[in-house]
Chain A
Amino acid sequence: MAWFLRSKKNIEDSQQREMPDGLFTKCPTCDEVIYKRQFEEQLFTCIKCNHHFRIGSEEYIGIIFDENSFTETDTNIRSSDPLNFVDTKPYTERLADAYRRTDSADALTIGYGTIEGREISFGCMNFDFVGGSMGSVVGEKFYRAAKRAISRKTPLVIISTSGGARMQEAIFSLMQMAKTSAVLSELAEAKLPYISIMTDPTTGGVSASFAMLGDVNIGEPKALIAFAGPRVVEQTIRKKLPEGFQRAESVLKNGFLDMIVHRKDLRATISHVLMLLT
Protein backbone atom coordinates (compact mmCIF):
# COMPACT_ATOMS: atom_id res chain seq x y z
CA MET A 1 0.00 0.00 0.00
CA ALA A 2 2.87 2.34 0.54
CA TRP A 3 2.73 3.04 -3.17
CA PHE A 4 5.46 5.64 -3.28
CA LEU A 5 7.99 3.36 -1.64
CA ARG A 6 7.55 0.66 -4.20
CA SER A 7 9.63 1.24 -7.24
CA LYS A 8 10.13 -2.34 -8.35
CA LYS A 9 6.63 -3.43 -9.10
CA ASN A 10 3.32 -2.10 -10.24
CA ILE A 11 0.53 -2.41 -7.81
CA GLU A 12 -2.99 -2.88 -9.06
CA ASP A 13 -4.89 -2.60 -5.80
CA SER A 14 -7.69 -0.19 -5.10
CA GLN A 15 -5.41 2.08 -3.13
CA GLN A 16 -3.58 3.04 -6.27
CA ARG A 17 -6.78 3.77 -8.13
CA GLU A 18 -7.65 6.17 -5.32
CA MET A 19 -4.42 7.99 -5.94
CA PRO A 20 -4.07 8.37 -9.71
CA ASP A 21 -1.23 10.88 -9.62
CA GLY A 22 0.44 9.42 -6.54
CA LEU A 23 0.49 12.82 -4.84
CA PHE A 24 -2.27 12.43 -2.30
CA THR A 25 -4.54 9.87 -0.72
CA LYS A 26 -7.91 10.04 0.97
CA CYS A 27 -8.59 8.72 4.48
CA PRO A 28 -11.18 5.91 4.22
CA THR A 29 -12.57 6.84 7.65
CA CYS A 30 -12.94 10.62 7.52
CA ASP A 31 -12.33 11.47 3.85
CA GLU A 32 -9.48 13.83 4.74
CA VAL A 33 -7.14 14.46 1.82
CA ILE A 34 -3.59 13.58 2.86
CA TYR A 35 -0.60 14.65 0.79
CA LYS A 36 2.23 12.27 0.15
CA ARG A 37 4.84 14.17 2.16
CA GLN A 38 2.52 14.57 5.16
CA PHE A 39 1.52 10.94 4.91
CA GLU A 40 5.11 9.75 5.24
CA GLU A 41 5.78 12.14 8.11
CA GLN A 42 2.67 10.85 9.87
CA LEU A 43 3.87 7.24 9.43
CA PHE A 44 0.87 6.44 7.24
CA THR A 45 -1.78 7.58 9.68
CA CYS A 46 -4.49 10.18 9.15
CA ILE A 47 -3.66 13.59 10.62
CA LYS A 48 -7.30 14.30 11.29
CA CYS A 49 -8.74 11.07 12.72
CA ASN A 50 -5.69 8.92 13.49
CA HIS A 51 -6.78 6.20 11.08
CA HIS A 52 -3.85 3.77 10.77
CA PHE A 53 -3.41 2.72 7.15
CA ARG A 54 -2.35 -0.85 6.56
CA ILE A 55 1.37 -0.96 5.83
CA GLY A 56 3.90 -3.72 5.23
CA SER A 57 7.14 -4.92 6.78
CA GLU A 58 9.25 -2.51 4.75
CA GLU A 59 7.47 0.48 6.30
CA TYR A 60 7.48 -0.90 9.84
CA ILE A 61 11.20 -1.61 9.61
CA GLY A 62 11.69 2.02 8.64
CA ILE A 63 9.55 3.13 11.58
CA ILE A 64 11.01 1.15 14.47
CA PHE A 65 14.66 0.34 13.70
CA ASP A 66 17.74 2.50 14.04
CA GLU A 67 18.65 3.78 10.61
CA ASN A 68 20.24 1.16 8.38
CA SER A 69 20.52 -1.30 11.27
CA PHE A 70 18.13 -3.91 9.93
CA THR A 71 19.26 -7.05 8.10
CA GLU A 72 16.65 -9.29 6.55
CA THR A 73 17.33 -13.03 6.81
CA ASP A 74 15.93 -16.27 5.41
CA THR A 75 14.63 -14.76 2.20
CA ASN A 76 15.15 -17.99 0.33
CA ILE A 77 12.33 -20.21 1.57
CA ARG A 78 9.16 -20.63 -0.44
CA SER A 79 5.84 -22.45 -0.18
CA SER A 80 6.00 -25.70 -2.08
CA ASP A 81 2.31 -26.64 -2.31
CA PRO A 82 2.75 -30.02 -0.58
CA LEU A 83 -0.88 -31.09 -1.16
CA ASN A 84 -1.21 -29.90 -4.77
CA PHE A 85 -4.11 -27.87 -3.52
CA VAL A 86 -6.70 -26.76 -6.04
CA ASP A 87 -9.86 -24.80 -5.34
CA THR A 88 -11.19 -22.47 -8.01
CA LYS A 89 -7.59 -22.16 -9.11
CA PRO A 90 -4.36 -23.95 -8.19
CA TYR A 91 -2.48 -22.73 -5.10
CA THR A 92 0.70 -22.40 -7.18
CA GLU A 93 -1.11 -19.85 -9.34
CA ARG A 94 -2.21 -17.89 -6.28
CA LEU A 95 1.38 -17.88 -5.04
CA ALA A 96 2.77 -16.79 -8.39
CA ASP A 97 0.22 -13.99 -8.38
CA ALA A 98 1.25 -12.91 -4.87
CA TYR A 99 4.96 -12.88 -5.80
CA ARG A 100 4.12 -10.80 -8.85
CA ARG A 101 1.95 -8.26 -7.04
CA THR A 102 4.06 -7.78 -3.91
CA ASP A 103 7.70 -7.37 -2.99
CA SER A 104 7.36 -10.02 -0.29
CA ALA A 105 8.75 -13.54 -0.33
CA ASP A 106 5.82 -14.61 1.88
CA ALA A 107 3.48 -13.24 4.55
CA LEU A 108 6.29 -12.90 7.12
CA THR A 109 9.55 -10.97 6.81
CA ILE A 110 12.19 -11.69 9.46
CA GLY A 111 15.59 -10.34 10.42
CA TYR A 112 17.46 -8.48 13.11
CA GLY A 113 18.61 -4.98 13.90
CA THR A 114 18.80 -2.45 16.70
CA ILE A 115 16.27 -0.18 18.37
CA GLU A 116 18.01 2.63 20.22
CA GLY A 117 21.14 0.51 20.12
CA ARG A 118 19.54 -2.67 21.50
CA GLU A 119 19.61 -5.73 19.23
CA ILE A 120 16.31 -7.51 18.66
CA SER A 121 15.17 -10.43 16.56
CA PHE A 122 12.22 -9.30 14.50
CA GLY A 123 9.37 -10.43 12.32
CA CYS A 124 6.66 -8.51 10.52
CA MET A 125 3.75 -9.92 8.58
CA ASN A 126 2.63 -8.69 5.17
CA PHE A 127 -1.12 -8.56 4.71
CA ASP A 128 -0.87 -8.09 0.95
CA PHE A 129 0.67 -11.55 0.59
CA VAL A 130 -2.32 -13.97 0.46
CA GLY A 131 -4.07 -12.01 3.22
CA GLY A 132 -1.15 -12.38 5.60
CA SER A 133 -2.11 -16.03 5.96
CA MET A 134 0.10 -18.43 7.91
CA GLY A 135 1.41 -21.45 6.08
CA SER A 136 4.61 -23.48 6.45
CA VAL A 137 6.86 -20.61 5.38
CA VAL A 138 5.44 -18.18 7.94
CA GLY A 139 5.72 -20.86 10.64
CA GLU A 140 9.30 -21.73 9.74
CA LYS A 141 10.40 -18.10 9.54
CA PHE A 142 8.76 -17.35 12.88
CA TYR A 143 10.55 -20.37 14.30
CA ARG A 144 13.90 -19.17 12.98
CA ALA A 145 13.37 -15.63 14.33
CA ALA A 146 12.59 -17.05 17.79
CA LYS A 147 15.58 -19.41 17.60
CA ARG A 148 17.81 -16.49 16.67
CA ALA A 149 16.55 -14.57 19.71
CA ILE A 150 17.43 -17.57 21.88
CA SER A 151 20.89 -18.12 20.44
CA ARG A 152 21.77 -14.41 20.43
CA LYS A 153 20.00 -13.86 23.79
CA THR A 154 18.00 -10.95 22.41
CA PRO A 155 14.32 -10.00 22.74
CA LEU A 156 11.83 -11.02 20.06
CA VAL A 157 9.48 -8.45 18.54
CA ILE A 158 6.74 -9.55 16.13
CA ILE A 159 4.26 -7.37 14.24
CA SER A 160 1.20 -9.34 13.14
CA THR A 161 -1.44 -8.82 10.51
CA SER A 162 -3.23 -11.87 9.25
CA GLY A 163 -6.51 -13.28 8.03
CA GLY A 164 -5.56 -16.56 9.73
CA ALA A 165 -4.30 -19.90 8.50
CA ARG A 166 -3.38 -20.49 4.85
CA MET A 167 -6.17 -22.87 3.89
CA GLN A 168 -4.34 -24.12 0.79
CA GLU A 169 -1.73 -25.69 3.06
CA ALA A 170 -4.52 -27.38 5.03
CA ILE A 171 -3.27 -29.40 8.03
CA PHE A 172 0.27 -28.07 7.62
CA SER A 173 -0.99 -24.53 8.19
CA LEU A 174 -2.95 -25.57 11.30
CA MET A 175 0.19 -27.12 12.74
CA GLN A 176 2.07 -23.82 12.38
CA MET A 177 0.02 -22.63 15.36
CA ALA A 178 1.59 -25.44 17.38
CA LYS A 179 5.05 -24.91 15.94
CA THR A 180 5.17 -21.17 16.68
CA SER A 181 3.72 -21.57 20.19
CA ALA A 182 6.11 -24.41 20.99
CA VAL A 183 9.18 -22.34 20.14
CA LEU A 184 7.78 -19.49 22.25
CA SER A 185 7.77 -21.85 25.23
CA GLU A 186 11.52 -22.25 24.65
CA LEU A 187 11.98 -18.49 24.45
CA ALA A 188 10.07 -18.16 27.74
CA GLU A 189 12.34 -20.72 29.39
CA ALA A 190 15.35 -18.69 28.25
CA LYS A 191 13.70 -15.71 30.00
CA LEU A 192 13.85 -13.52 26.92
CA PRO A 193 11.18 -10.86 26.35
CA TYR A 194 8.65 -11.26 23.56
CA ILE A 195 6.67 -8.22 22.45
CA SER A 196 3.69 -8.91 20.21
CA ILE A 197 2.21 -6.05 18.20
CA MET A 198 -1.20 -6.66 16.66
CA THR A 199 -2.19 -4.53 13.70
CA ASP A 200 -5.30 -4.49 11.53
CA PRO A 201 -6.40 -7.26 11.18
CA THR A 202 -4.96 -9.99 13.42
CA THR A 203 -7.30 -12.97 13.39
CA GLY A 204 -7.71 -16.75 13.30
CA GLY A 205 -4.73 -19.04 13.57
CA VAL A 206 -2.33 -16.15 14.14
CA SER A 207 -4.25 -14.48 16.97
CA ALA A 208 -4.93 -17.91 18.49
CA SER A 209 -1.23 -18.71 18.61
CA PHE A 210 1.84 -16.46 18.68
CA ALA A 211 0.13 -13.06 18.43
CA MET A 212 -1.70 -13.45 21.76
CA LEU A 213 1.34 -14.87 23.56
CA GLY A 214 3.42 -11.74 24.08
CA ASP A 215 4.89 -10.94 27.48
CA VAL A 216 3.57 -7.57 26.42
CA ASN A 217 0.72 -7.38 23.90
CA ILE A 218 0.38 -4.12 22.00
CA GLY A 219 -2.47 -3.17 19.65
CA GLU A 220 -2.60 -0.45 17.02
CA PRO A 221 -5.57 1.93 17.31
CA LYS A 222 -8.83 0.45 15.96
CA ALA A 223 -7.10 -2.74 14.78
CA LEU A 224 -9.43 -5.72 14.37
CA ILE A 225 -8.16 -8.39 16.77
CA ALA A 226 -10.23 -11.56 16.84
CA PHE A 227 -10.38 -15.32 16.71
CA ALA A 228 -13.38 -15.63 14.40
CA GLY A 229 -13.83 -12.75 11.96
CA PRO A 230 -16.88 -10.51 12.38
CA ARG A 231 -18.66 -12.00 9.36
CA VAL A 232 -18.42 -15.52 10.79
CA VAL A 233 -19.69 -14.34 14.17
CA GLU A 234 -22.57 -12.50 12.55
CA GLN A 235 -23.54 -15.54 10.47
CA THR A 236 -23.45 -17.77 13.56
CA ILE A 237 -25.48 -15.69 15.97
CA ARG A 238 -27.62 -13.87 13.39
CA LYS A 239 -27.51 -10.64 15.35
CA LYS A 240 -26.01 -7.26 14.62
CA LEU A 241 -22.60 -6.90 16.20
CA PRO A 242 -22.05 -4.24 18.88
CA GLU A 243 -20.20 -1.04 18.01
CA GLY A 244 -16.44 -1.41 18.37
CA PHE A 245 -16.68 -5.22 18.64
CA GLN A 246 -13.25 -6.89 18.28
CA ARG A 247 -11.49 -3.54 17.87
CA ALA A 248 -8.27 -2.95 19.80
CA GLU A 249 -10.04 -0.57 22.19
CA SER A 250 -12.51 -3.25 23.32
CA VAL A 251 -9.83 -5.94 23.32
CA LEU A 252 -7.85 -3.71 25.70
CA LYS A 253 -10.93 -3.19 27.87
CA ASN A 254 -11.53 -6.97 27.92
CA GLY A 255 -8.04 -7.53 29.21
CA PHE A 256 -6.16 -9.06 26.28
CA LEU A 257 -3.89 -6.15 25.38
CA ASP A 258 -1.50 -4.28 27.63
CA MET A 259 -1.80 -1.07 25.67
CA ILE A 260 -2.76 0.60 22.44
CA VAL A 261 0.09 2.50 20.87
CA HIS A 262 -0.02 5.06 18.09
CA ARG A 263 2.41 4.22 15.32
CA LYS A 264 4.46 7.34 16.02
CA ASP A 265 5.10 6.07 19.58
CA LEU A 266 5.78 2.46 18.65
CA ARG A 267 9.57 2.63 18.51
CA ALA A 268 9.83 4.51 21.82
CA THR A 269 7.38 2.16 23.53
CA ILE A 270 9.19 -1.01 22.42
CA SER A 271 12.45 0.53 23.60
CA HIS A 272 10.90 1.57 26.93
CA VAL A 273 9.52 -1.91 27.67
CA LEU A 274 12.74 -3.66 26.66
CA MET A 275 14.84 -1.31 28.77
CA LEU A 276 12.87 -2.38 31.84
CA LEU A 277 12.66 -6.09 30.96
CA THR A 278 16.26 -6.77 30.04
Chain B
Amino acid sequence: MASNFTLEFEKPVLELEKKIEEMRSLAGTLDIEPQIAELQLKVEELRADIYNNLTRWQRVQIARHPDRPYSSDYFNSTFGNFIELHGDRSFRDDPAIVCGLADLNGESVIVVGHQKGRDTKSNVYRNFGMPNPEGYRKASRMFDLAEKFDKPIICLLDTPGAFPGIEAEDRGQAQAIAANLLKMSRLPVPIIVIVIGEGASGGALGIGIGDRILMLENSWYSVIAPESCSSILWRSWDYKEQAAESLQLTAEDLKANGIIDRIIPEPIGGAHRNTDLMSEILKSVLIEELQELKKIPIKELVRLRREKFAAMGVWETIS
Protein backbone atom coordinates (compact mmCIF):
# COMPACT_ATOMS: atom_id res chain seq x y z
CA MET B 1 0.00 0.00 0.00
CA ALA B 2 1.59 3.25 -1.14
CA SER B 3 1.56 6.08 1.35
CA ASN B 4 2.03 8.90 -1.21
CA PHE B 5 5.04 9.86 0.86
CA THR B 6 7.64 11.60 -1.27
CA LEU B 7 11.21 12.40 -0.36
CA GLU B 8 12.44 15.86 -1.34
CA PHE B 9 14.89 14.53 -3.93
CA GLU B 10 12.27 12.21 -5.43
CA LYS B 11 10.02 15.16 -6.34
CA PRO B 12 11.49 16.32 -9.70
CA VAL B 13 11.10 12.82 -11.16
CA LEU B 14 7.61 12.35 -9.81
CA GLU B 15 6.54 15.74 -11.20
CA LEU B 16 7.77 14.85 -14.68
CA GLU B 17 6.05 11.48 -14.47
CA LYS B 18 2.84 13.21 -13.56
CA LYS B 19 3.22 15.50 -16.55
CA ILE B 20 3.68 12.51 -18.87
CA GLU B 21 0.54 10.95 -17.50
CA GLU B 22 -1.39 14.16 -18.13
CA MET B 23 -0.12 14.27 -21.70
CA ARG B 24 -1.08 10.63 -22.19
CA SER B 25 -4.64 11.42 -21.21
CA LEU B 26 -4.70 14.00 -24.01
CA ALA B 27 -2.96 11.72 -26.48
CA GLY B 28 -6.25 10.50 -27.95
CA THR B 29 -6.97 13.89 -29.53
CA LEU B 30 -3.45 15.09 -30.38
CA ASP B 31 -0.37 13.48 -31.84
CA ILE B 32 2.09 14.13 -29.02
CA GLU B 33 3.84 10.76 -28.89
CA PRO B 34 7.24 12.27 -29.83
CA GLN B 35 6.98 14.81 -27.02
CA ILE B 36 6.02 12.08 -24.56
CA ALA B 37 8.95 9.92 -25.65
CA GLU B 38 11.29 12.86 -25.26
CA LEU B 39 9.97 13.55 -21.79
CA GLN B 40 10.25 9.87 -20.90
CA LEU B 41 13.91 9.98 -21.86
CA LYS B 42 14.38 13.04 -19.70
CA VAL B 43 12.77 11.25 -16.76
CA GLU B 44 15.17 8.34 -17.08
CA GLU B 45 18.16 10.65 -17.33
CA LEU B 46 17.04 12.65 -14.33
CA ARG B 47 16.38 9.52 -12.30
CA ALA B 48 19.76 8.03 -13.13
CA ASP B 49 21.40 11.36 -12.32
CA ILE B 50 19.69 11.62 -8.94
CA TYR B 51 20.17 8.02 -7.85
CA ASN B 52 23.76 7.80 -9.01
CA ASN B 53 24.66 10.80 -6.89
CA LEU B 54 22.85 10.20 -3.64
CA THR B 55 24.42 11.60 -0.52
CA ARG B 56 24.77 9.33 2.48
CA TRP B 57 21.96 11.15 4.25
CA GLN B 58 19.68 10.65 1.22
CA ARG B 59 20.39 6.90 1.40
CA VAL B 60 19.38 6.97 5.07
CA GLN B 61 16.12 8.59 4.00
CA ILE B 62 15.44 5.92 1.37
CA ALA B 63 16.20 3.23 3.96
CA ARG B 64 13.47 4.81 6.11
CA HIS B 65 10.95 5.32 3.31
CA PRO B 66 7.53 4.34 4.70
CA ASP B 67 6.75 2.31 1.56
CA ARG B 68 9.95 0.29 1.78
CA PRO B 69 9.44 -3.48 2.07
CA TYR B 70 9.86 -4.79 5.62
CA SER B 71 10.90 -8.21 6.90
CA SER B 72 7.43 -9.75 6.81
CA ASP B 73 6.98 -8.54 3.21
CA TYR B 74 10.04 -10.54 2.18
CA PHE B 75 8.99 -13.53 4.33
CA ASN B 76 5.80 -13.63 2.26
CA SER B 77 7.33 -12.95 -1.16
CA THR B 78 10.99 -13.97 -1.40
CA PHE B 79 10.19 -17.03 0.71
CA GLY B 80 7.39 -19.55 0.41
CA ASN B 81 5.19 -21.29 2.97
CA PHE B 82 6.07 -18.82 5.71
CA ILE B 83 4.62 -19.69 9.09
CA GLU B 84 5.23 -17.33 11.98
CA LEU B 85 6.35 -18.62 15.37
CA HIS B 86 5.77 -16.48 18.45
CA GLY B 87 7.22 -15.90 21.88
CA ASP B 88 10.44 -16.27 23.85
CA ARG B 89 8.95 -18.98 26.17
CA SER B 90 9.93 -16.87 29.11
CA PHE B 91 8.25 -13.48 29.19
CA ARG B 92 6.21 -12.57 26.12
CA ASP B 93 6.11 -12.23 22.38
CA ASP B 94 7.93 -9.21 20.95
CA PRO B 95 6.23 -7.90 17.79
CA ALA B 96 9.37 -5.88 16.89
CA ILE B 97 11.02 -9.12 15.78
CA VAL B 98 9.22 -11.56 13.49
CA CYS B 99 10.44 -15.15 13.21
CA GLY B 100 9.34 -18.38 11.69
CA LEU B 101 9.78 -21.23 9.28
CA ALA B 102 9.75 -20.77 5.53
CA ASP B 103 11.18 -22.23 2.41
CA LEU B 104 13.70 -20.71 0.07
CA ASN B 105 13.29 -22.23 -3.35
CA GLY B 106 12.00 -25.43 -1.80
CA GLU B 107 14.54 -25.72 1.00
CA SER B 108 13.30 -25.06 4.53
CA VAL B 109 15.03 -22.33 6.48
CA ILE B 110 14.56 -20.37 9.72
CA VAL B 111 13.84 -16.70 9.16
CA VAL B 112 14.29 -13.89 11.70
CA GLY B 113 13.83 -10.17 11.10
CA HIS B 114 13.21 -6.81 12.75
CA GLN B 115 9.71 -5.61 11.97
CA LYS B 116 8.47 -2.04 11.63
CA GLY B 117 4.86 -0.94 11.25
CA ARG B 118 3.28 0.85 8.26
CA ASP B 119 1.10 3.35 10.11
CA THR B 120 0.88 4.87 13.58
CA LYS B 121 -1.20 2.04 15.00
CA SER B 122 0.96 -0.78 13.67
CA ASN B 123 4.10 1.15 14.53
CA VAL B 124 3.01 1.42 18.13
CA TYR B 125 2.30 -2.33 18.08
CA ARG B 126 5.72 -3.03 16.54
CA ASN B 127 7.42 -0.46 18.79
CA PHE B 128 8.78 1.16 15.60
CA GLY B 129 10.93 -1.91 15.03
CA MET B 130 12.82 -1.44 18.32
CA PRO B 131 13.08 -4.82 20.07
CA ASN B 132 12.91 -5.50 23.77
CA PRO B 133 15.09 -8.25 25.29
CA GLU B 134 12.37 -10.83 24.68
CA GLY B 135 12.69 -10.15 20.95
CA TYR B 136 16.34 -11.18 21.02
CA ARG B 137 15.42 -14.19 23.19
CA LYS B 138 12.73 -15.22 20.72
CA ALA B 139 15.39 -15.06 18.00
CA SER B 140 17.67 -17.14 20.22
CA ARG B 141 14.94 -19.77 20.44
CA MET B 142 14.82 -19.84 16.64
CA PHE B 143 18.59 -20.33 16.53
CA ASP B 144 18.16 -23.39 18.78
CA LEU B 145 15.49 -24.73 16.43
CA ALA B 146 17.81 -24.20 13.49
CA GLU B 147 20.55 -26.13 15.24
CA LYS B 148 18.27 -28.97 16.31
CA PHE B 149 16.76 -29.48 12.86
CA ASP B 150 19.87 -28.49 10.95
CA LYS B 151 18.27 -25.62 9.03
CA PRO B 152 20.03 -22.55 7.62
CA ILE B 153 19.18 -19.18 9.18
CA ILE B 154 18.31 -16.02 7.27
CA CYS B 155 18.26 -12.78 9.30
CA LEU B 156 16.86 -9.51 7.98
CA LEU B 157 18.09 -6.38 9.78
CA ASP B 158 15.87 -3.31 9.90
CA THR B 159 15.81 -1.43 13.18
CA PRO B 160 16.42 2.11 14.47
CA GLY B 161 17.94 0.40 17.52
CA ALA B 162 17.16 -1.79 20.51
CA PHE B 163 14.53 -0.11 22.70
CA PRO B 164 16.04 2.05 25.46
CA GLY B 165 13.22 1.74 28.02
CA ILE B 166 13.09 1.06 31.76
CA GLU B 167 11.59 -2.41 31.40
CA ALA B 168 13.94 -3.30 28.54
CA GLU B 169 16.88 -2.40 30.76
CA ASP B 170 15.48 -4.27 33.76
CA ARG B 171 14.93 -7.38 31.66
CA GLY B 172 18.54 -7.31 30.45
CA GLN B 173 18.73 -5.73 27.01
CA ALA B 174 22.53 -5.91 27.12
CA GLN B 175 22.61 -9.57 28.15
CA ALA B 176 19.99 -10.55 25.56
CA ILE B 177 22.02 -9.03 22.73
CA ALA B 178 25.34 -10.35 24.05
CA ALA B 179 23.98 -13.88 24.38
CA ASN B 180 22.92 -13.84 20.72
CA LEU B 181 26.35 -12.67 19.58
CA LEU B 182 27.90 -15.61 21.42
CA LYS B 183 25.36 -18.14 20.19
CA MET B 184 25.48 -17.02 16.56
CA SER B 185 29.29 -17.32 16.69
CA ARG B 186 29.09 -21.04 17.34
CA LEU B 187 25.88 -22.22 15.62
CA PRO B 188 26.66 -25.17 13.34
CA VAL B 189 24.33 -24.07 10.51
CA PRO B 190 24.85 -21.57 7.69
CA ILE B 191 23.72 -18.03 8.57
CA ILE B 192 23.06 -15.26 6.06
CA VAL B 193 22.44 -11.73 7.31
CA ILE B 194 20.94 -9.01 5.10
CA VAL B 195 20.54 -5.38 6.12
CA ILE B 196 17.29 -4.47 4.33
CA GLY B 197 16.73 -0.98 5.77
CA GLU B 198 18.20 0.46 8.94
CA GLY B 199 21.02 -1.31 10.74
CA ALA B 200 21.39 0.72 13.90
CA SER B 201 23.98 -0.36 16.39
CA GLY B 202 23.83 -3.28 18.81
CA GLY B 203 20.10 -3.59 18.25
CA ALA B 204 20.80 -4.61 14.65
CA LEU B 205 23.91 -6.67 15.39
CA GLY B 206 21.90 -8.64 17.99
CA ILE B 207 20.63 -10.82 15.13
CA GLY B 208 23.52 -9.97 12.82
CA ILE B 209 26.37 -12.48 13.11
CA GLY B 210 26.66 -14.71 10.07
CA ASP B 211 28.71 -16.33 7.35
CA ARG B 212 27.62 -13.78 4.80
CA ILE B 213 26.73 -10.17 5.59
CA LEU B 214 24.87 -8.49 2.75
CA MET B 215 23.29 -5.08 2.38
CA LEU B 216 20.59 -3.76 0.10
CA GLU B 217 21.92 -0.90 -1.99
CA ASN B 218 20.00 1.79 -0.08
CA SER B 219 20.27 0.43 3.42
CA TRP B 220 22.58 1.73 6.14
CA TYR B 221 24.51 0.03 8.93
CA SER B 222 26.28 1.94 11.68
CA VAL B 223 27.39 2.01 15.28
CA ILE B 224 24.87 4.81 15.83
CA ALA B 225 22.11 6.61 13.92
CA PRO B 226 23.33 9.88 12.34
CA GLU B 227 20.92 11.98 14.43
CA SER B 228 22.14 10.48 17.72
CA CYS B 229 25.74 10.81 16.56
CA SER B 230 25.11 14.48 15.79
CA SER B 231 23.56 15.00 19.20
CA ILE B 232 26.43 13.33 21.07
CA LEU B 233 29.49 14.47 19.12
CA TRP B 234 28.25 17.85 17.87
CA ARG B 235 25.95 18.44 20.86
CA SER B 236 23.19 19.44 18.47
CA TRP B 237 20.61 17.63 16.31
CA ASP B 238 21.55 19.77 13.29
CA TYR B 239 24.58 17.85 12.02
CA LYS B 240 22.94 14.62 10.88
CA GLU B 241 24.06 15.03 7.25
CA GLN B 242 27.65 15.55 8.38
CA ALA B 243 27.39 12.71 10.87
CA ALA B 244 26.16 10.40 8.08
CA GLU B 245 29.19 11.42 6.00
CA SER B 246 31.63 10.89 8.88
CA LEU B 247 30.13 7.53 9.87
CA GLN B 248 30.42 6.15 6.30
CA LEU B 249 27.33 4.06 6.80
CA THR B 250 26.22 3.11 3.28
CA ALA B 251 26.46 -0.31 1.65
CA GLU B 252 29.20 1.02 -0.61
CA ASP B 253 31.18 2.29 2.41
CA LEU B 254 30.89 -1.00 4.25
CA LYS B 255 31.88 -2.99 1.20
CA ALA B 256 34.91 -0.73 0.70
CA ASN B 257 35.86 -1.21 4.36
CA GLY B 258 35.65 -4.98 4.13
CA ILE B 259 32.77 -5.34 6.58
CA ILE B 260 30.13 -6.75 4.23
CA ASP B 261 30.43 -9.37 1.51
CA ARG B 262 28.06 -8.06 -1.10
CA ILE B 263 25.75 -5.23 -2.09
CA ILE B 264 22.34 -6.30 -3.37
CA PRO B 265 21.13 -3.89 -6.08
CA GLU B 266 17.72 -2.30 -5.74
CA PRO B 267 15.32 -1.27 -8.52
CA ILE B 268 16.06 2.30 -9.64
CA GLY B 269 14.52 4.72 -7.17
CA GLY B 270 14.71 2.21 -4.32
CA ALA B 271 13.16 -1.09 -3.21
CA HIS B 272 9.78 0.57 -2.67
CA ARG B 273 9.52 1.53 -6.35
CA ASN B 274 9.22 -2.11 -7.42
CA THR B 275 8.76 -4.49 -4.52
CA ASP B 276 8.14 -7.58 -6.70
CA LEU B 277 11.41 -7.08 -8.52
CA MET B 278 13.21 -6.42 -5.21
CA SER B 279 11.86 -9.64 -3.77
CA GLU B 280 13.04 -11.58 -6.84
CA ILE B 281 16.52 -10.05 -6.74
CA LEU B 282 16.86 -10.93 -3.05
CA LYS B 283 15.65 -14.45 -3.71
CA SER B 284 18.19 -15.15 -6.42
CA VAL B 285 21.02 -13.75 -4.30
CA LEU B 286 20.01 -15.83 -1.28
CA ILE B 287 19.74 -19.03 -3.30
CA GLU B 288 23.18 -18.43 -4.75
CA GLU B 289 24.82 -17.55 -1.42
CA LEU B 290 23.24 -20.45 0.44
CA GLN B 291 24.38 -22.88 -2.24
CA GLU B 292 27.94 -21.63 -1.81
CA LEU B 293 27.81 -21.90 1.99
CA LYS B 294 26.46 -25.44 1.90
CA LYS B 295 29.56 -26.57 0.05
CA ILE B 296 31.69 -25.76 3.11
CA PRO B 297 31.94 -28.44 5.84
CA ILE B 298 30.10 -27.09 8.89
CA LYS B 299 33.09 -27.07 11.26
CA GLU B 300 35.07 -25.15 8.71
CA LEU B 301 32.16 -22.77 8.22
CA VAL B 302 32.04 -21.90 11.94
CA ARG B 303 35.83 -21.45 11.97
CA LEU B 304 35.64 -19.14 8.96
CA ARG B 305 32.79 -17.19 10.56
CA ARG B 306 34.85 -16.51 13.67
CA GLU B 307 37.85 -15.65 11.56
CA LYS B 308 35.77 -13.21 9.54
CA PHE B 309 34.83 -11.20 12.63
CA ALA B 310 38.28 -11.58 14.18
CA ALA B 311 39.69 -9.81 11.11
CA MET B 312 37.41 -6.77 11.54
CA GLY B 313 39.18 -3.73 12.88
CA VAL B 314 41.97 -1.44 11.82
CA TRP B 315 44.96 -0.53 13.97
CA GLU B 316 48.65 0.10 13.58
CA THR B 317 51.60 -1.48 15.31
CA ILE B 318 54.23 0.90 16.58
CA SER B 319 57.81 -0.07 17.20
> Hey, which bits of chain A sit against chain B, CB under 8 A?
76-80, 82-83, 85-88, 135-137, 139-140, 143, 165, 167, 169-179, 181-186, 188-189, 203-205, 207-213, 225-228, 232-233, 236-237, 239, 241-242, 245-246, 250, 254-256
**CB-defined A-B contacts under 8 Å, sample of 27:** A80-B314, A83-B248, A88-B234, A88-B235, A136-B313, A137-B313, A143-B310, A165-B201, A165-B223, A170-B248, A170-B249, A171-B257, A176-B312, A179-B313, A181-B185, A181-B209, A182-B185, A185-B186, A209-B178, A213-B182, A226-B174, A227-B169, A227-B202, A228-B173, A233-B165, A236-B164, A254-B171
Please tell me if the beta carbons of A170 and B205 are within 8 angstroms of each other in the complex: no
Please tell me if the beta carbons of B173 and A227 are within 8 angstroms of each other in the complex: yes
Chain B nearest CB, measured from A188 CB (Å): 7
Please tell me if the beta carbons of B319 and A171 are within 8 angstroms of each other in the complex: no
Please tell me if the beta carbons of B317 and A77 are within 8 angstroms of each other in the complex: yes
Known A136-B313, A212-B178, A239-B166; further 20 A-B contacts with Cβ < 8 A: A76-B317, A78-B316, A167-B233, A169-B314, A171-B249, A174-B201, A174-B222, A175-B313, A181-B181, A182-B305, A184-B182, A185-B183, A211-B174, A227-B162, A227-B202, A228-B164, A228-B173, A236-B165, A237-B165, A237-B166
> Known interface pairs A171-B223, A175-B312, A233-B165. Does A181 touch B248 (Cβ–Cβ under 8 Å)?
no
Please tell me if the beta carbons of B172 and A87 are within 8 angstroms of each other in the complex: no
Please tell me if the beta carbons of B185 and A139 are within 8 angstroms of each other in the complex: no
Please tell me if the beta carbons of B313 and A178 are within 8 angstroms of each other in the complex: no
Mask of B273-315 contacts with A, CB within 8 angstroms, 1/0: 0000000000000000000000000000000011001101111
User: How many A-B Cβ pairs are below 8 Å?
Assistant: 204
Please tell me if the beta carbons of A213 and B179 are within 8 angstroms of each other in the complex: yes
A242 nearest CB neighbor, chain B only:
B166
Docked complex Cα distance between A183 and B174 (Å): 18
Chain B nearest CB, measured from A224 CB (Å): 11
Chain A nearest CB, measured from B259 CB (Å): 5
Please tell me if the beta carbons of B178 and A245 are within 8 angstroms of each other in the complex: no
CB contacts (< 8 Å) of A226 on chain B: these are 169, 174
> Known interface pairs A136-B315, A172-B312, A241-B166. Does A167 touch B232 (Cβ–Cβ under 8 Å)?
yes
Chain A nearest CB, measured from B170 CB (Å): 5
